[in-house]
Amino acid sequence: MVKKRAEWPQPDDYAVAVATKVASYGAYVTLPEYGDKEGFIHISEISSTWVRNIRNHIHENMRTVVKVLQVDTQKKHIDCSLRRVSAEAKRAKNNEWKRAQKAEKLLESVANENGITLDQIYEQLGWPLEDAYGEIYKGLERAAEGGPEALEEVNADKKLKKQIADLAKVRIEIPSVDIDGELSVVVPGPAGIEVIKRALSDALEQGKDDKRLSVEIYALGAPRYKLHIVGPTYKDAEDLLQSIMSIVKKSVEGNGGSVSLSRK
């Protein structure tokens, strides 16, 4: 199923969508992360090129990634876009979806062991893991590496933490670790866009000499940018993050701009 804590998505969010009805004017989809709430992709948001046949781009039962444009909670209506999803954003969202599925399976095992529902285990353990680590699966990776002691900061029952940590050690392999964050980058003036492009381009060059490290940066909608770092250990990933932030800040702040990072 894969659950999101929020009842509704926010504009500019990326979401997994399943097409339920395709017509000449657009496609209706459900968003499984949000209780199968219905969304709509207008024909103009299907592709950046001319759409001769909409079914060449989307068809019933197709699972894809959409960008949320507008949300009207009163009318229970969500406008979505297919054409505004870059290959990088699609890959990142699908990776997030797969990680959430794996996390849910482990949570479900613990729920069954304790005779409680999936909703209850999310409340008692899943969301506390998300509070502590920004993502449930990231907390499970920490537990796989360090055991129950790695979950000391998680505000949950010790028995549940031990059970999930024991499962994580058996079922989760840690070939690498990742860090996710959201950059807010603002540079005033007509040259601001070029300054930002240059700063982020320089940031992407970091870590290229070490094949164990990788960096992804893509736009979420100005001034927001997604930052994803993968490394063999948390120290390596954190060191790379500090190097990237130093480079971006020097370039942006040197041109009168501002930079902030929100860890996810």
pLDDT of 175: 67
d(CA 69, CA 12): 6
- Counting beta carbons within 10 angstroms of the beta carbon of residue 111, is it exposed (0 to 12), middle (13 to 18) or buried (19 or more)? buried
The position carrying tokens 């285990």 is 121
Task: Identify the CATH homologous superfamily for domain 14-84.
Answer: Nucleic acid-binding proteins (2.40.50.140)
What architecture does CATH give domain 88-171? Orthogonal Bundle (1.10)
Domain ranges for the chain, please list them.
14-84, 88-171, 177-263
- Counting beta carbons within 10 angstroms of the beta carbon of residue 175, is it exposed (0 to 12), middle (13 to 18) or buried (19 or more)? exposed
| CA neighbor of 182 nearest in space, from 105, 230, 245 | 245
> What tens-digit pLDDT sequence spans the chain (264 residues)?
688 999 999 999 999 999 999 999 999 999 999 999 999 999 999 999 999 999 999 999 999 999 999 999 999 999 999 999 999 999 999 999 999 999 999 999 999 999 999 999 999 999 999 999 999 999 999 899 889 999 999 999 999 999 999 999 999 987 678 889 999 999 999 889 999 999 999 999 987 877 778 899 989 988 999 999 998 888 888 999 999 999 999 999 999 999 999 987
Is pTM beyond 0.75 here? Answer: no
d(CA 110, CA 116): 9
Angle at 135 between CA 5 and CA 131, to 5 degrees: 70
What architecture does CATH give domain 177-263? 2-Layer Sandwich (3.30)
